């Protein structure tokens, strides 16, 4: 039982969690249901990939002590930032219809025609496309589910950061 909770296996679990989240988004939501990701969804996916990549580096490196804490803290920072983006997305979805921002240009258009800083600002603000609830599961919209995923990952990362690991 202790071997499963070793720092390396916890990082591997975080990698698998990120992989499952991305497969669900890409294969099921986008591939099977045909739902296109809005700019905020794409940003959330970026942070899932970032947390998974940091966790993969932590699993491969498997450093003792402070090294483990640094990887876990960076992984947690990525999850917290992704959670903040997901929370903004949830907020947009719960705005009254008259307060929803107008739909903006596509992400491809913005990347081709605007400076990167302006594109980033517009993407993080979200638009009317982001306020649409297109699919739910157990009464939760996709951003609400994603926020829950980020919260679980953040809690695991925090636990990995502060826990005592003997001989490590």
What domains can you pick out in the chain, each with its CATH number?
7-162 (1.20.1550.10)
Q: How far apart are CA 83 and CA 55, in angstroms?
A: 17
Residue 52 pLDDT more than 80? Answer: yes
List, for residues 105-135, the tens digit of each pLDDT value: 666 767 787 787 777 676 666 555 666 767 6
Query: What band does 58 get if pLDDT is binned at 50, 70 and 90?
Result: very high
Query: What band does 91 get if pLDDT is binned at 50, 70 and 90?
Result: confident
19: how many CB neighbours lie within 10 A of its CB? 14
Mean pLDDT for 18-37 is 90
Q: How far apart are CA 146 and CA 45, in angstroms?
A: 9
Residue 103 pLDDT more than 60? Answer: no
Residues in the chain: 168
User: What is the reported pLDDT for 101?
Assistant: 58
Percent of the chain at pLDDT > 90 equals 49
Q: Give Cα separations from 94 to 62, 125, 130 (angstroms).
A: 42, 15, 11
């Amino acid at each position: 039982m202790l071997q499963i909770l070793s720092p390396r296996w916890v990082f591997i679990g975080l990698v698998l969690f990120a992989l499952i989240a991305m497969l669900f988004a890409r294969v099921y939501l986008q591939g099977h249901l045909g739902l296109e990701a809005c700019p905020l969804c794409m940003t959330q996916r970026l942070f899932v990939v970032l947390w998974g990549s940091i966790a993969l580096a932590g699993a491969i490196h498997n450093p003792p002590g402070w090294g483990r804490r640094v990887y876990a803290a960076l992984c947690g920072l990525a999850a917290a930032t992704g959670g903040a983006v997901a929370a903004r997305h949830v907020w947009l979805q719960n705005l009254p219809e008259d307060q929803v921002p107008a739909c903006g240009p596509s992400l491809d258009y913005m990347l081709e025609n605007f400076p990167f800083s302006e594109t980033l600002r517009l993407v993080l603000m979200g638009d009317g496309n982001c306020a649409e609830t297109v699919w739910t599961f157990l009464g939760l919209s996709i951003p609400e589910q994603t926020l829950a995923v980020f919260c679980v990952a953040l809690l695991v990362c925090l636990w990995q950061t502060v826990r005592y690991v003997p001989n490590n």
